[in-house]
Structure 1
Amino acid sequence: MPSNTKTTLIIIALCLCSISALSQEETRPDLMVTDGWGKELFIFPIRFASKIPYTGFEEARFPKGWGIESSPEFWSYAFAWKIDVKAPLTETDLEVNLQRYFDGLLGLDFKEDGQKTNAVFVSSNASKPWVGYKGKIKTLDTRFTKKPMILNVLVDQHYCKKEKQYIIIFKFSPKEFGTPVWLKMNDIKLSPEACNH
């Protein structure tokens, strides 16, 4: 077979694979209900945090001001993991895997000065029907300010009986709990369709 023909066939095959992958992502259910926020999807293993040992996908949601330092929404965003695990994540699971997540996201894996992410979580709602946690993540904002940053975090875990998967919703902001941005964050809910696919 002539090399030009072989090259053309390879390109067509790659395009078909890309189209198939895109269509699979587009058919994934929305995990969170948000109004006017941007959206990104990631498949586990996540390319920048491949040490996180789960199978599933992440849906990330961003308000308009999340990347603007002067905005009250700066670094405030949410993501949800729909993953194959047999039990809710523990404090240790959350701490270890969010440290991996932010170290990879912010490129701290490659810094030689030892600066790494530190995460701490405590249970926040033992009396509710889902497992929730409250926490803090101390890291370095390598994207915008180049300064140390502390993110306050709320975590809710929901079990999908039909699919035997957990959906974990993470909400982040450097603003203290109870400030106006958290009113928006608290409006983010689990989508009714999230556990029906």
Structure 2
Amino acid sequence: MHSKFLLACFILFTGIFQSSGQEKSSDSKLLAPPGWRSERFSLPPAFAKSIPFAGKEDIRFSPNWAKKNTEGYWTYCFLWAIDDSPSFAAKDIGIYLKDYFTGLIKANLAASKTDVSKAIPVEISLREAEEKNTADKVYEGDIRMLDYKEQAPITLHLRIFVRDQKKVNSGLIVFVEASPQPYNDKVWRYFDSIYKSIN
């Protein structure tokens, strides 16, 4: 029974994205490790129209993304390929992600006919991080929000890479890694391999 519920949660999550204009991910060059699922759609998504830029989002879900008490639970990453060059300092990223996750959570609660008032306020804290192996701007931090699958609070650790594309074309590349697992867990090595596949 529980496994059926988790499968329904995954379908619901991806269904929200599908209603946001999902596209085929076959033309994406972003790595998908074995067993990881992919989704791709336009920005801003239907559940977060307040996000002030356009582009594409490419998502990679870990194999156990919807399975509670597993290493891969709520472990996924996504790439934003943004058409313009909006401000992307830590404060701006916090605002964009707060709008994004607030809309995502409420959309999933509404789709499952759950009272959206159960959604606790999304809280995000970010700091600039030192990464010697990339020229991208890097931020780390946490997001505290409602796990709408379990109806309980959850904290995800974040690592975010921001790449200015002005030298090759217009726009920005933003890569977001999210997991409740600590940074020394092996799931972050999967994120590293996905990140390195970005052109």
Output the amino acid matched with 2:48: A
Unaligned runs of 5+ in 2: 1-20, 110-114
Q: State the alpha-carbon separation in 2 of the partners of residues 47 and 149 from structure 1.
A: 24
Q: State the alpha-carbon separation in 2 of the partners of residues 167 and 90 from structure 1.
A: 13
Q: Answer yes or no: is 1:120 the counterpart of 2:125.
A: yes
Aligned length: 170
TM-score relative to the length of structure 1: 0.76
Is the CA contact (8 Å cut-off) linking 1:88 and 1:131 kept in structure 2? no
Q: Show the counterpart of 1:33.
A: 31
- Which is worse superposed, 119-128 or 33-42? 119-128
TM-score relative to the length of structure 2: 0.75
Q: Answer yes or no: is 1:138 the counterpart of 2:138.
A: no
- Which is worse superposed, 35-44 or 103-112? 103-112
Q: Over aligned residue pairs, what C-alpha RMSD do you find?
A: 2.5
Q: Answer yes or no: is 1:191 the counterpart of 2:197.
A: yes
Output the amino acid matched with 2:163: H
Q: Answer yes or no: is 1:150 the counterpart of 2:155.
A: yes
Question: Of residues 160, 171, 183 in structure 2, which corresponds to 1:165?
Answer: 171
Q: Show the counterpart of 2:13.
A: none
Cα deviation, residue 95, structure 1: 0.6
Q: In structure 2, do the counterparts of structure 1 residues 65 and 94 end up closer, same or farther at CA, with 3 Å as the change threshold? A: same
Q: In structure 2, do the counterparts of structure 1 residues 175 and 26 end up closer, same or farther at CA, with 3 Å as the change threshold? A: closer
Cα deviation, residue 166, structure 1: 1.0
Q: Deviations over 1:73-112 (max 9, x none)?
A: 0000000000023266111111111111111111179733
Q: State the alpha-carbon separation in 1 of the partners of residues 69 and 123 from structure 2.
A: 25
SS, match of residue 98 in structure 2 = helix
Q: In structure 2, do the counterparts of structure 1 residues 157 and 190 end up closer, same or farther at CA, with 3 Å as the change threshold? A: farther
Q: Show the counterpart of 1:18.
A: none
Cα deviation, residue 179, structure 1: 1.6
SS, match of residue 68 in structure 2 = coil
Q: In structure 2, do the counterparts of structure 1 residues 185 and 27 end up closer, same or farther at CA, with 3 Å as the change threshold? A: closer
Percentage of identical aligned residues: 24
Q: In structure 2, do the counterparts of structure 1 residues 166 and 153 end up closer, same or farther at CA, with 3 Å as the change threshold? A: same
Q: Show the counterpart of 2:72.
A: 73
Q: In structure 2, do the counterparts of structure 1 residues 70 and 26 end up closer, same or farther at CA, with 3 Å as the change threshold? A: closer
Is the CA contact (8 Å cut-off) linking 1:78 and 1:169 kept in structure 2? yes
SS, match of residue 134 in structure 1 = strand
Q: Show the counterpart of 2:9.
A: none
Cα deviation, residue 124, structure 1: 0.4
Is the CA contact (8 Å cut-off) linking 1:88 and 1:166 kept in structure 2? no
Q: Show the counterpart of 1:10.
A: none
Larger Rg: 1
Q: In structure 2, do the counterparts of structure 1 residues 114 and 35 end up closer, same or farther at CA, with 3 Å as the change threshold? A: closer
